[in-house]
Chains A and B, each alone.
Chain A
């Protein structure tokens, strides 16, 4: 049997297709992408090495600064709100019996729907003359231009999109926390009630410490997801008005595939990937702790 499991030929056959795809579609393109980011490359002529010029241009590019600011805003907003709301909903749902599945399934629904369709849907709901503003008009109020207002440090459209993103994806965090909470043995809670804890206390002293590993998982998922964020922005504002709602992914798309500045767009891609690696590293360092026996 050992001989069978050490069969070199079989190992190669099993691993080859996946490895080949990974090297050709992931590993080589990443290296190329890094190389392009040091090049002037517009698609028609071969890439020409220009050193750090693309990165220097990035620092001067106003839309890039908007994109960077907005991406960081998304990152922080989604990590915090998803944690708070996800945990809150999970705590509520684990405390009720009747209708738990129903509420859970309703909140999870947008996670499986296409964010293109949902983005377009919300774009209409927040458009100047439809949806919310029509409802406000009924009460004699005039609604703001939800997706076009440009005042403030974090402009109104960014808040709107951030809340839509929270609406769409909070189900995911909620489910992750629920899965972890339902894995905690009830004897721990019973012991705490005997010791005189009430529900709130046992939540703080038992539930919270025990779901810490899951916080790390859910947070890294959120963080990478919010850095990759593209569909909702593209369909709700297309980065407008005047590039104020641009994030890294939409900026990369516009520069690369609208203006064909492949070299410049690759530099944005490199910034994106570095941010992804840093953020996952940080989260795993600070949030992940030892796993407790449950």
Chain B
């Protein structure tokens, strides 16, 4: 066998294997999407065929009964506010560590990085009892505070790298032009590290959007639950109307899937860049 033929066979095997892997990834999602349009009886009689008619009622029912609308809104509020605050507070601290000159910069960084290793489970109980005392339990603010804190370590770490690699001349010339340190931060440093802000923002948003444990512990009011909590509560093994639950699952993941399909390259590269540095 010639070398060329050998390499084509190897390529074919690789492609066959990759297609199989892709099927394992897409088939479950596609199957749930398909059966979410069926009636409950149809799921058992013909589970793998296309639905006979598109039974939209499943979706309207789980949207209202599962309170998924308000849950999506809550998730947006919590994640949006956390995103903005973590970018602002995180890059402020990163600017101080990476650019300003003081003796404690290194110890500060180590202190922040320790936060990356600490699982949120370990601080949940003290936070929960304290928040209950000062009236922050069962409120979105009580959820935003720990989310914000736990997204700071990665934000600070990545942004410090960006600020340190920034050319010195830019800051020097701004100094000569007489701008204050705050002016330098907001008008030069921040706009020049848009990539870093995008990466950290994306990581923060994805992590908090999917967070279940804290949200479940801190929020008990139905009207304030976030999307994962409402979904987990609505869909359970004891509820027997399967098609409605499949519809709820699809409602919960479809926005992410659509956004992912449009921006997949940026998202994958952004998250990987974040993880490489973190």
Show the binding face of A for B, using Cβ within 8 Å: 1-2, 4-8, 10-11, 13-15, 17-19, 21-22, 25-26, 28-30, 32-33, 36, 43, 89, 92-93, 95-96, 99, 101, 103-118, 120-125, 127, 129-131, 134-135, 138, 167, 172, 175-176, 178-180, 214, 217, 221, 224, 227-228, 230-231, 234-235, 248-249, 252-253, 256-257, 262, 265-266, 269-270, 272-273, 276-277, 280
Partner-contacting stretch, out of B50-58, B191-199, B256-264: B256-264
Q: Is the CB of B268 within 8 A of A120?
A: no
B61: CB under 8 A from chain A? no
Q: Is the CB of A134 within 8 A of B117?
A: no
A140 to B119, CA, bound (A): 46
Q: Is the CB of A112 within 8 A of B43?
A: no
- Given A104-B268, A129-B44, do A92 and B228 touch, yes or no (CB 8 Å)? no
Interface residue count on the B side (C-beta < 8 Å)? 93
Other 19 A-B pairs with CB < 8 A, given A1-B171, A5-B181, A114-B227? A6-B102, A10-B182, A21-B148, A22-B149, A32-B126, A96-B18, A111-B271, A114-B209, A115-B210, A116-B210, A122-B28, A124-B246, A167-B24, A176-B276, A221-B275, A230-B121, A249-B213, A265-B125, A269-B121
Q: Smallest Cβ distance from B126 to chain A, in angstroms?
A: 4
Instruction: Specify which of B32, B97, B145, B217 lies most central, judged by the most chain A CB atoms within 10 Å of its CB.
Output: B32
Q: Is the CB of B182 within 8 A of A112?
A: no
A211 to B186, CA, bound (A): 37
A17 to B96, CA, bound (A): 12
Contact with A along B82-120 (1 / 0, CB 8 A): 000000011011011101111000001001100101111
A224 to B118, CA, bound (A): 9
A283 to B124, CA, bound (A): 27
Show the binding face of B for A, using Cβ within 8 Å: 11, 14-15, 17-18, 21-22, 24-26, 28-29, 31-32, 43-44, 47-48, 89-90, 92-93, 95-97, 99-102, 108, 111-112, 115, 117-130, 145-146, 148-149, 152, 156, 171-172, 175-176, 180-182, 184-185, 206, 209-210, 212-213, 216-217, 227-228, 231-232, 235, 237, 242, 245-246, 249, 252-253, 256-257, 260, 264-265, 267-268, 271-273, 275-276
- Given A134-B47, A234-B212, do A92 and B125 touch, yes or no (CB 8 Å)? no
What are 26 residue pairs bridging A and B, where the CB atoms are less than 8 Å apart in the complex? Answer: A4-B175, A6-B101, A11-B102, A14-B92, A18-B92, A19-B93, A25-B127, A26-B123, A29-B123, A30-B122, A92-B14, A99-B18, A109-B264, A121-B29, A121-B249, A138-B48, A172-B275, A179-B272, A217-B276, A228-B119, A248-B121, A253-B121, A253-B217, A257-B217, A270-B122, A272-B119
